[in-house]
Chain A
């Protein structure tokens, strides 16, 4: 192909972007000698990479001659897929490095001799460990395995055996073992009574201060780690005997040979042997009774603390420096700083939640209660911030007695206040995990409550002047005051300028098979044919009705003339609005996947004949929430609409309340049996101003409740990993779905729609 032709094709493919011609000529030059089909095949990848990253796309072309030395044309798409995965997870640099340097490694993996990469089995192991742990543990990748109690980190690749089944088993064992540390409470933070003299500041894990007190902290840490590993293993052998059995057959023998002379490694060896041998090995370090405790799973983390001190004094040699022994792969390492960080994050999240809830609670207190509380009869005119601060100048009573399950009370000016159940539970959880409730929480809550009061006043004054033409004002729900902020959010209607690009055609080509299948499936839905009995006219005689009619006439009742069966097509009477999140976070693949889903959905709905509208939403601050028109309910799916789908691009923030309220108001006017609002989003509702956290979730939830009240069914399709925490609360248990693989989005959405409406 000639260079000019190649460049022209390239411009076509990436329109409306206009890349630099010099750059293009440089990277396209090598294609001149290639045959036309090869050129076309290679150019066919451009629309996939270009929207994700322009520079990655140019790099792809630049490196292509080298790549083609190793890979055939058929292998390229999969390779691009992996490159884009790298881009999505670790950014441009990693993706470039992968393209440039890792081809050979990639090839050896293709041939199945490069060990097992975690990415290839993550989909299997993530649900596995979440099921085992019964919570939302995350899995990350790191050089050595460890856990920070929120995530478990495993090596990127394992090649300890030539058989990948064994590598898989080791991955599984690593994950389960690390979870064991969490389940067994190895990361203790409360000093046992004998060790209460060890000082520890509140940001440091007590365990770390404990190790720091030793002459050789690393040795102390490793002794404790080994003892805890024994405890974890005995816990696992009771909980998951099948796993231990398999590990005993396929994993342990492999590592048993690498044991050397260090006294600690004898402790490690107990992890690789059977029960009888275990007690023999442990005998060197622990008394008979302690051995039994460990092997029967009756020991606690505190026993390990005590025994660590004992063993340390026995094996520590003052004259030689301790060189840390290498842990077994499944044991991993203790990363106490990581645990501290994870803990801090959790503390902060729970703290924010507490402050929000406390502030909300303060705002619900009646004036009378407040009067009693601050005992200042100075003619209250609402709560000013200073008043609340004074009220909250208090401390939590009875925190020391919390184990006795006494209700938690707040003492304010000697008046005790019982906390609502939800807040009480949160406080208890917080105290259980962190041991104390910082006093600044209370003042923050007071501050927040006070600010909300002031905002209410200010809002009232400024509202009148903020009306603009061409916009609609919507209320927003403020959970703290359990009421609406009137005309709080202005929703601007904007038109998306249609963009004519090959995106639609490419999508249709890309999902060619799927589109045909979808059409077929949706056609089947349209033709929901069934035989209707008891008709006045029809194709066949309804025998039941005939018999009945004869018997009726025998019984002296006037006989029915509805004696026929007719084949009837069920009429679908559904109106649906799609609200598409156009927030900034959808940049890249997400936005692309959303658009592709819309194209497939629109194609399928055209076949089905359901009425549907598409709107995008974004915006910044309450004064500029934007709703972008893509397709009205009554509009036909033509070039204009297609162009507007193409021009959906990430913009600003996600203020969900107003768009949902607007969609509700549109659907309220529509006469349909079933009315649906389907939101496609990638995360929580959030705006630049204070529209975030609980406020945003509660407002969105309220907007959805309003929709439900109007007999409109809201449904949400999300790709946010944290969706569980708030989705159920916002949409209700069966009204949302989480899709973990963005690539599957275009496939899943029509499927969900089908299930939802049939």
Chain B
């Protein structure tokens, strides 16, 4: 099927994405892939879950198909549907089917955002059956050994309505992600943000301070992603105070007192 091929090629990662391992997560993921086990990544926002998946896909030389989940995502959106093309009904694969057929890695980002009835569709794929029933086509698609399903979520969110069902949860090999150690984080910020080591160290120090404010009302501290973005602004010539304000402080909170406290930290460090 030609069109499928073109679409898949887009998902193949040819250049090595930058990823600095903080534990044995790469080993675990490769072993999970080898044993046809699905993967669950959990961790705070911006700590490198998606980047890890890109790296894994590159390492395993499999295409990576990412689906960002939302509450309007339907089973058809994942599996596929008939479309009319020049008066003919043509079946079009959804991203999940596409990944199964091609033996790719399907990554469902923020899975808890999807409705529970939608997430159930991955159940038969995520256990030892490894099959995808396609009701419309009357087909049962068996996943090749290369296929891998991976989901991610952030356990820090407080809504009780957004939690994984135990039946979904208990199918996965789970890897817990957290922010990297200060040295590693500085290295990442240096490299991705394009700033010098000294600035990266200071940014990481600032992030550490914000992360210890959880009890003072900050839902989540500054993520590695925010640090990188701040670094990028600085690299483009924006002064550090403005860059921190725009890319690091304001995205964290709307509480004026907390914002002021964060601003004081910035002015102390830089």
| Interface residues of A, Cβ cutoff 8 Å to B | 123-128, 130-132, 134-136, 172, 176, 239-243, 246, 533, 547-548, 550-555, 557, 674, 676, 713, 715, 723-724, 733-735, 737-738, 740, 755-758
Q: How large is the interface on B (under 10, 10 to 19, 20 to 34, 35 or more residues)?
A: 35 or more
Which residue from chain A places its CB closest to the CB of B84 in the assembled complex? Answer: A551
Known: A127-B213, A555-B82, A738-B215. A755 touches B268 (CB 8 A): no
- Point out the residues of chain A lying under 8 angstroms from B160, CB to CB: 674, 676, 713, 715, 756-757
- Does B159 reach chain A (CB closer than 8 Å)? yes
- Does B161 reach chain A (CB closer than 8 Å)? yes
Binding stretch for chain A, among B58-66, B124-132, B259-267: B259-267
- Does B156 reach chain A (CB closer than 8 Å)? yes
CB distance from B260 to the nearest CB of A (A): 4
- Asked whether A554 lies within 8 Å of B269 as measured between CB atoms, the reply is no
Give me 5 other A-B pairs in contact (C-beta within 8 A), A124-B257, A533-B74 excluded.
A132-B209, A553-B89, A756-B159, A757-B160, A758-B161
Which residue from chain B places its CB closest to the CB of A173 in the assembled complex? Answer: B268
- Asked whether B257 lies within 8 Å of A134 as measured between CB atoms, the reply is no
- Asked whether A241 lies within 8 Å of B264 as measured between CB atoms, the reply is no
- Point out the residues of chain A lying under 8 angstroms from B87, CB to CB: 554
- Asked whether B216 lies within 8 Å of A130 as measured between CB atoms, the reply is yes
Which residue from chain B places its CB closest to the CB of A738 in the assembled complex? Answer: B215
- Point out the residues of chain B lying under 8 angstroms from A241, CB to CB: 269-270
CA gap between A259 and B50 in the complex, in Å: 59
CB distance from B115 to the nearest CB of A (A): 11
- Asked whether A128 lies within 8 Å of B155 as measured between CB atoms, the reply is no
Which residue from chain A places its CB closest to the CB of B267 in the assembled complex? Answer: A242
Interface centre among B74, B88, B89, B213 (most CB of A within 10 A): B89
| Set A132, A246, A552, A738: member contacting B265, Cβ < 8 A | A132
A-B contacts, 23 listed (Cβ < 8 Å): A123-B261, A124-B260, A127-B213, A131-B261, A131-B262, A132-B268, A134-B209, A239-B269, A533-B74, A547-B83, A547-B84, A551-B90, A554-B82, A554-B87, A554-B88, A555-B91, A557-B82, A557-B136, A734-B155, A735-B158, A738-B217, A740-B216, A756-B160
CB distance from A247 to the nearest CB of B (A): 10
- Asked whether B156 lies within 8 Å of A733 as measured between CB atoms, the reply is yes
- Asked whether B156 lies within 8 Å of A123 as measured between CB atoms, the reply is no
- Point out the residues of chain B lying under 8 angstroms from A735, CB to CB: 158
- Point out the residues of chain B lying under 8 angstroms from A738, CB to CB: 215, 217
- Does B157 reach chain A (CB closer than 8 Å)? yes
| Set B161, B217, B268: member contacting A240, Cβ < 8 A | B268
| Interface residues of B, Cβ cutoff 8 Å to A | 74, 76, 81-84, 87-91, 136, 155-161, 205, 208-210, 212-213, 215-218, 257-258, 260-262, 264-270
CB distance from B258 to the nearest CB of A (A): 6
CA gap between A364 and B120 in the complex, in Å: 42
| Set A550, A734, A756: member contacting B156, Cβ < 8 A | A734
CA gap between A550 and B258 in the complex, in Å: 56
- Asked whether A125 lies within 8 Å of B84 as measured between CB atoms, the reply is no
- Asked whether B267 lies within 8 Å of A243 as measured between CB atoms, the reply is yes
CA gap between A735 and B159 in the complex, in Å: 9
The majority secondary structure among interface residues of chain B is: mixed
Which residue from chain A places its CB closest to the CB of B92 in the assembled complex? Answer: A551
- Asked whether B83 lies within 8 Å of A551 as measured between CB atoms, the reply is yes
| Set A533, A548, A755: member contacting B81, Cβ < 8 A | A548
CB distance from B211 to the nearest CB of A (A): 8
| Set B155, B218, B268: member contacting A172, Cβ < 8 A | B268
Nearest 4 CB-CB pairs, A to B? A551-B89, A131-B209, A551-B82, A554-B89
CB distance from A732 to the nearest CB of B (A): 9
CA gap between A552 and B261 in the complex, in Å: 60
Known: A547-B84, A552-B89. A757 touches B161 (CB 8 A): yes
Interface centre among A134, A547, A723, A734 (most CB of B within 10 A): A734
- Asked whether B268 lies within 8 Å of A243 as measured between CB atoms, the reply is yes
- Point out the residues of chain A lying under 8 angstroms from B215, CB to CB: 130, 136, 723-724, 738
- Asked whether B270 lies within 8 Å of A242 as measured between CB atoms, the reply is yes
Which residue from chain A places its CB closest to the CB of B155 in the assembled complex? Answer: A734
- Asked whether B161 lies within 8 Å of A552 as measured between CB atoms, the reply is no
- Asked whether B213 lies within 8 Å of A130 as measured between CB atoms, the reply is yes
CA gap between A757 and B160 in the complex, in Å: 7
CA gap between A300 and B165 in the complex, in Å: 54
- Asked whether A734 lies within 8 Å of B158 as measured between CB atoms, the reply is yes
- Asked whether B158 lies within 8 Å of A135 as measured between CB atoms, the reply is no
Interface centre among B205, B213, B215, B270 (most CB of A within 10 A): B215
CA gap between A735 and B265 in the complex, in Å: 28
CB distance from B220 to the nearest CB of A (A): 10
CA gap between A333 and B262 in the complex, in Å: 28
CB distance from A675 to the nearest CB of B (A): 9
- Point out the residues of chain B lying under 8 angstroms from A723, CB to CB: 215
CB distance from B37 to the nearest CB of A (A): 26
CB distance from B49 to the nearest CB of A (A): 17
Which residue from chain A places its CB closest to the CB of B209 in the assembled complex? Answer: A131
CB distance from A718 to the nearest CB of B (A): 11
- Asked whether A755 lies within 8 Å of B84 as measured between CB atoms, the reply is no
CB distance from B17 to the nearest CB of A (A): 30
CA gap between A176 and B269 in the complex, in Å: 12
- Point out the residues of chain A lying under 8 angstroms from B268, CB to CB: 132, 172, 176, 240, 242-243
CB distance from B262 to the nearest CB of A (A): 8
CB distance from A551 to the nearest CB of B (A): 3
CB distance from B73 to the nearest CB of A (A): 12
- Asked whether B217 lies within 8 Å of A740 as measured between CB atoms, the reply is yes
- Asked whether A172 lies within 8 Å of B264 as measured between CB atoms, the reply is yes
- Point out the residues of chain A lying under 8 angstroms from B218, CB to CB: 127
